Amino acid sequence: MRVYFDYNATTPLAPEVVDTISQVSRDLFGNPSSIHHFGQQAKATIDDARSATASLINADPSEIVFVSGGTEADNFAIRGAAEALEPTGRRHLIASGIEHEAVLNTLRALARRGWRTTLLPVDQTGVVSADRLREAIDAETALVSVMHANNEIGTIQPVAALAAIAHEHGALLHTDAVQTAGKVPVDVRALGVDLLSLSAHKFNGPKGAGALWIKRGTRMQPTATGGKHERNRRAGTENVAAIAGLGVAAVLAARKMAPEAARVCALRDRLEAGILGNVPGTQVNGTREARVPNTTNISFERVEAESLLIALDLEGIAVSTGSACSSGTLEPSHVLKAMGLPSHRTQNSLRFSLGMFSTQEEVDRVVEVLPRLVEKLRGLTRRPVSA
């Protein structure tokens, strides 16, 4: 039995998405910018996907710009808004310290070009506080970027409150909704944001497809220049099949969202209770209240996370030590570090993330296997476990 509990890294394609991608790749090869029949068929396919993607986040289709995924959406949001606002004298950017590297490294790149940047601290709950934003924001702030939910610990951020503060100071608010879109309701109007990123492969769509939602009237400088695609906002011939796959994934996610979230949440809670109850010295990282339903991040006292991850993999169980981009290095998680957790927890934590094909049998298998593996790894060191 192989268990895949790494849905926050990526998800398997929904069967309907596979069918759509293969049908579009085979039959609708036209260039959507071409005026003839073949081009117009491809364009119509993109338009359908645009409506489905907009509907998933309560947006207008004209506000959706298709991009290559979450990383490009985050880059475009921050660089595009920053460049557009530069002439106004606003040269300050704010993000939380627990953002994905796509946001953090974009801020670092802009800092090297003279932008002032501030990272908001978080406490051990893993939630960004409105007070911290009030302290950091000023009349020069162009943009605030705070993710809707964190990819490592799953905590949902108070984006609507943060957007209100940003707007009081004339700044834009971008939210990276890569870990919420398709999993929980995301409503751009209710959130009150200006820019929102999403990525298809996090909700059973294909890799290499995503969208940046740009609120109508928001001034943006394109980051990819070229032809007039995507209403002059993102040049380059569209990846029609992947965009169609994104559209189908959006329709499926919207249709099944409430029951699927409840099902996955029950599995996650069973897994969490099973681990906390059967493995001494375990603790959940971050608040357990405002979280996406599919994620738990647990620290295992006196067990090096990488060793446990490998031991689980040998048992056919796939989990993660945090964001996939930083695995392969022994760097502690920047998210757990930003939360102020002590080093024995930043290096001893695993993320379990569930999704569409997860089952109770898989949960029970993990709960059965883990105590033995942890005990074995702890046997290699001497100190007793305190909890």
Q: 3-class SS at 201? A: helix
178 binds ligand PLP (CB under 6 A): yes
What's the CA gap between 257 and 60, in Å, rounded? Answer: 20
Closest CA to 64 of 186, 207, 225: 186
Applying CB under 6 A, among 49, 102, 156, 370 the residue interacting with ligand PLP is: 102
What's the CA gap between 158 and 206, in Å, rounded? Answer: 29
What's the CA gap between 145 and 8, in Å, rounded? Answer: 20
321 binds ligand PLP (CB under 6 A): no
Residue number, 90 or 334, with CB nearest to ligand PLP: 334
Residue number, 69 or 293, with CB nearest to ligand PLP: 69
Applying CB under 6 A, among 106, 141, 151, 175 the residue interacting with ligand PLP is: 151
Residue 312 neighbours by CB under 8 Å, 6+ apart: 318, 319, 350, 366, 369, 370, 373
Element (H, E) at 74: helix 70-85
Residue number, 129 or 179, with CB nearest to ligand PLP: 179
Applying CB under 6 A, among 199, 282, 321, 348 the residue interacting with ligand PLP is: 199
141 binds ligand PLP (CB under 6 A): no
The whole-angstrom distance between residue 120's C-alpha and the CA centroid of its chain comes to: 18
69 binds ligand PLP (CB under 6 A): yes
Smallest distance, ligand PLP to C-beta of residue 232, A: 23
Q: What is the crossing angle of helices 15-27 and 240-278, to 10°?
A: 160
Question: How many of the chain's residues bind ligand PLP (CB under 6 A)?
Answer: 16
Residue number, 5 or 370, with CB nearest to ligand PLP: 5
β-pairing, 3-4 vs 317-318, is: parallel
Residue number, 210 or 282, with CB nearest to ligand PLP: 210
Place of tokens 């569930």: 354
Residue 164 neighbours by CB under 8 Å, 6+ apart: 192
322 binds ligand PLP (CB under 6 A): no
Residue 42 neighbours by CB under 8 Å, 6+ apart: 28, 29, 30, 31, 32, 34, 238, 240
Smallest distance, ligand PLP to C-beta of residue 246, A: 11
Residue number, 175 or 282, with CB nearest to ligand PLP: 175
Closest CA to 152 of 363, 277, 332, 272: 332
Q: Taking a C-beta distance cutoff of 8 angstroms, is the pair 292, 262 a contact? A: no
Among the listed ranges 67-75, 84-92, 233-241, 368-376, the one in contact with ligand PLP (CB under 6 A) is: 67-75
Q: Taking a C-beta distance cutoff of 8 angstroms, is the pair 104, 335 a contact? A: no
265 given a catalytic annotation: no
Among the listed ranges 162-170, 174-182, 188-196, 240-248, the one in contact with ligand PLP (CB under 6 A) is: 174-182
Applying CB under 6 A, among 4, 7, 66, 70 the residue interacting with ligand PLP is: 70
Q: 3-class SS at 351? A: strand
Smallest distance, ligand PLP to C-beta of residue 32, A: 21
Applying CB under 6 A, among 79, 100, 263, 351 the residue interacting with ligand PLP is: 100
Catalytic residue among 130, 325, 377, 385: 325
Smallest distance, ligand PLP to C-beta of residue 72, A: 7
Among the listed ranges 56-64, 79-87, 172-180, 373-381, the one in contact with ligand PLP (CB under 6 A) is: 172-180
Applying CB under 6 A, among 53, 71, 295, 346 the residue interacting with ligand PLP is: 71
295 binds ligand PLP (CB under 6 A): no
154 binds ligand PLP (CB under 6 A): no
Among the listed ranges 69-77, 160-168, 252-260, 302-310, the one in contact with ligand PLP (CB under 6 A) is: 69-77
DSSP secondary structure of 112-166:
HTT-EEEEEPB-TT--B-HHHHHHH--TTEEEEE--SB-TTT-BBP-HHHHHHHH
Closest CA to 73 of 228, 183, 199, 194: 199
Question: Residues with catalytic annotation?
Answer: 325
Which residues of this protein are in contact with ligand PLP, per CB under 6 A?
69-71, 74, 100, 102, 147, 151, 176, 178-179, 199, 201, 210, 323-324
